Amino acid sequence: MMIAAICLDDHLGMLFNGRRLSQDRCVRSDLLTHLQGHKLWLNTYSARQFCDSEQENLCIAEDFLGKAPDGAYCFVENQALAPYFDRLEGLIIYRWNRVYPSDVRFDLDLSGWKCVERQEFPGHSHEKITKERYIR
């Protein structure tokens, strides 16, 4: 089982023309703090967001969703999560609270998930970011 972290706009958008909709260093900092020393699994595309001093906290593999061990945290920006649904025990969703053009959207239905935490914080590039934590 693993926990996936995702950034979404108000229409569940993730990507537009193969590019992330947005990024924010406060989200990266919050996510690494949330991990409390656990490694963050992600692909090369996502790893480029993290500065050199943060790289030691990362496990980088193109097929990270298949390789991540039980209990792992994964940062997902440009991949579908539905094929890994049976491996997911939790989600951390960072909401930009904006609408961007997008052509790739989050592919899971949240109706079967329980939101156990919601908090707002100011971002660097966004006035307000909402963090939600879900469990099944």
92-118: average pLDDT: 96
Q: Does the pLDDT of residue 100 top 90, yes or no?
A: yes
Q: According to the model, what pLDDT value does residue 67 have?
A: 96
Q: Does the pLDDT of residue 37 top 90, yes or no?
A: no
Q: What is the 3-state secondary structure (H, E, C) of 8-71?
A: ECCCCEEEECCEECCCCHHHHHHHHHHHCCCCEEECHHHHCCCCHHHHHHEEECCCHHHHCCCC
| Spatial contact of 79 and 65, defined as CB atoms under 8 Å apart | yes
Q: Rounded to whole angstroms, how far apart are CA atoms 59 and 47?
A: 9
Residue 110: φ, ψ to 5°: -85, 0
36-57: average pLDDT: 94
Q: Rounded to whole angstroms, how far apart are CA atoms 24 and 2?
A: 23
Q: Does the pLDDT of residue 32 top 90, yes or no?
A: yes
Superfamily of domain 2-135: Dihydrofolate Reductase, subunit A (3.40.430.10)
The structural domains of the chain, with segments of one domain joined by +, span 2-135
Q: According to the model, what pLDDT value does residue 85 have?
A: 96
Confidence (pTM): 0.95
